[in-house]
């Protein structure tokens, strides 16, 4: 979405596209996890009045469902002051252009504010009262995430709209963002294994497929590594619905809208024309899949000239079995078969097709990923007979690279077991 909640670090990853205004995302680490954007209409403080609920009334979809109106707890500002110990600085999870995310505590059953340190940890996003775009995204978040229920979507638990104060309360994701695990070098963050990467890819794909499968399709519009959050078991959930849009209707193939999103992940047809297709999300998925295979960021100006844009750099390599080996993430060497890697790379290429209609549906993406997951061929040992599971990438070390994304505020920081900002 707009500016992510970024950490205070150097920006080397994708810039954020905000309509025609192209802005750079905030620093690494804060995903848009607790996104701005919400759900109440600008003329009402009742979640039941959402524009989204007026537009859609589908039957529940298994294993997720779309509720007729947002089902959220309404908090007072005093409630959330209590849950965060008056928004103390030591409870900050992330800071971004539209607000700050704090760690708070609520009762597990009633979701009422709890004594700090007891009950259940939640992430509470407090928007900057001066940010009009933040208000729009706050509305979008409530209208979409407040009604969508699926195992692979982050849960929005409640909200506060009191005078100029706008806040959102989300479930807390223990393992933070996919971005942190792929690109941070820290003793607190272990490299993701091949099997775990596939698990995360499948979970994220299921979340997108759910959004795309309803009669009135939902286009996520900001699919990227920092918006994929992980629970304690590395189950992936999509976060930050501030940029989500209803899909085309009336026989149209696309919706036309301001260009917003993140450079490196946004589909080329969307950037060029403002035409947003359901399969514009599929392009973003292809970029993230490429990041998972290579361990390289979608955009990184610290790489050599000609290699800044991962899609442009990797496309000629990943279609060939031998060249693919040169760009695969060295930290997962020895964990996969060449057949599995090549099939995953071919899937990424299909998702990155220039024409939206040539890209697979997310349902097909899931089927292919599950087939890859089922491949049981043993990987071949490297010529030296050893596996460099934790070495830096063969071409470029990601060590100490800080992304320009915003980290998701809903997740732990890279400074150990604490909580960090996200992008």
String of DSSP letters for 90-146: GGEEEEETTEEEEEEEE-TTT--B--TTSSEEEEEEEE-TT-HHHHHHHHHHHHHHT
Catalytic residue chosen out of the listed positions 79, 107, 222, 312: 222
Kindly tell me the burial class for residue 120, based on how many C-beta atoms sit within 10 Å of its own C-beta (0-12, 13-18, 19 or more): middle
- Residues 55-75, buried b or exposed e (16+ Cβ, 10 A)? ebeeeeeeebebbebbebbeb
Residue 339 is assigned to a ligand binding site: no
Q: Please say whether the beta carbons of 332 and 338 come within 8 A.
A: no
- Write a three-state SS string for 389-408: CCCCCCCCCCCCCCCCCCEE
Strands 99-106 and 120-127: antiparallel
CA distance 288 to 307: 16
CB neighbour burial string for 262-283, b if at least 16 within 10 angstroms, e if fewer: bbbbbbebbeeebbbbbbbbbb
Active site residue 163: no
- Tokens 């047809």 appear where? 269
Binding residues for ATP: 126
Catalytic residue set: 222
């Amino acid at each position: 979405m707009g500016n992510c909640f970024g950490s205070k670090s150097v920006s080397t990853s994708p810039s954020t596209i905000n309509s025609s205004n192209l802005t750079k995302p905030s620093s690494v680490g804060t995903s848009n996890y607790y996104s701005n954007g919400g759900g109440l209409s600008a003329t009402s403080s009742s979640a039941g009045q959402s524009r989204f609920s007026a537009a859609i009334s589908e039957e529940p979809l298994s294993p997720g469902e779309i509720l007729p109106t947002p089902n959220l707890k309404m908090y007072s500002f005093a409630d959330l002051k209590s849950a965060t110990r008056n928004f103390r600085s030591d409870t900050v999870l992330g800071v971004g252009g539209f607000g700050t995310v704090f760690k708070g505590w609520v009762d597990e059953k009633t979701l009422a504010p709890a004594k700090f340190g007891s009950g259940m940890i939640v992430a509470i996003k407090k928007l900057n009262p001066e940010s009009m775009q933040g208000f729009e995204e706050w509305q979008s978040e409530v209208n979409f995430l407040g009604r969508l229920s699926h195992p692979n979507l982050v849960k929005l638990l409640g909200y506060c709209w009191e005078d100029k104060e706008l806040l959102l309360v989300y479930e807390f994701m223990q393992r933070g963002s996919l971005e942190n695990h792929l690109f941070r070098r820290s003793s607190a963050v272990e490299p993701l294994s091949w099997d775990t990467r596939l698990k995360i890819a499948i979970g994220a794909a299921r979340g997108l497929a759910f959004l795309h499968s309803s009669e009135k399709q939902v286009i996520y519009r900001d699919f990227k590594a920092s918006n994929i959050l992980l629970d304690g078991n590395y189950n992936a959930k999509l976060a930050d619905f501030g940029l989500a849009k209803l899909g085309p209707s009336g026989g149209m193939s696309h919706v036309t809208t301001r260009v917003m999103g993140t450079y490196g992940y946004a589909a080329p047809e969307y950037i060029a024309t403002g035409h947003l297709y359901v399969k514009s999300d599929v392009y973003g998925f292809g970029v993230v899949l490429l990041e998972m295979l290579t361990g390289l960021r979608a955009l990184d100006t610290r790489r050599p000239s000609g290699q800044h844009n991962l899609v442009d750099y990797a496309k000629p390599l990943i279609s060939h079995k031998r060249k693919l080996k040169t760009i695969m993430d060295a930290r997962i060497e020895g964990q996969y078969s060449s057949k599995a890697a090549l099939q995953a790379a071919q899937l990424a290429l299909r998702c990155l097709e220039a024409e939206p209609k040539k890209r697979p549906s997310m349902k097909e993406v899931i089927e292919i990923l599950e087939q890859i997951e089922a491949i049981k061929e043993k990987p071949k040992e490297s010529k030296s007979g050893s596996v460099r599971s934790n070495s830096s990438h063969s071409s470029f070390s990601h060590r100490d690279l800080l992304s320009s994304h915003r980290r998701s505020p809903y997740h732990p920081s890279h400074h150990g077991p604490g909580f960090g900002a996200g992008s």
